Amino acid sequence: MEPGWSLKYYDPDKLDLWELIVEGPVGTPYENGRFQVTVKFPPEYPLTIPEIFFNTKIFHPNIDSHGHICLGIFTEGGWHPAQSIRVLLKHIQKLLANSNFDDFIYPEAAFLFKEDRVKFRQKAVEWTKTYASENVPITSFQSLSTSEKV
């Protein structure tokens, strides 16, 4: 894979579910973070966009506490079959570098950013060090309970 992400796990007998590691972009509060992301490809792929969510906790206005991502490409009309997983990952990395604070799904992060950018950055850095450092064990989707599986 390209710099900025790597394939952590996939089962060659079940290629519809991947685990990736997305690296936090340099110069952001997410720098040096390694965020686990799960990608679930629907049977209709590439006609239908894959489901992508963060397994690693992250303090970001466009990523909620369940890992759902608010990004234009994930909306109806934002995806077309000529795009690839590489395009989606590039969009996610751009989102980490340039949050969209006007179209948020995690209000606490968005409001803190608007009210006090220094505190926002401190909290985002703290969460990155706590939840996305190389010393933190990465959860595998294989260890999730049935109710949490994708």
Instruction: Report the 10 Å Cβ neighbour count for 83.
Output: 14
Q: Write the single-letter amino acid at 8.
A: K
Catalytic position from the list 58, 70, 71, 112: 70
Query: What values do phi and psi take at 34, rounded to 5?
Result: -125, 105
Q: What is the 3-state secondary structure (H, E, C) of 52-117?
A: EEECCCCCECCECCCCEECCHHHCCCCCCCCCCHHHHHHHHHHHHHCCCCCCCCCHHHHHHHHHCH
**Residue 114 appears among annotated catalytic residues:** no
- 149/145 Cα distance (integer angstroms): 6
Residues annotated catalytic, as ranges:
70
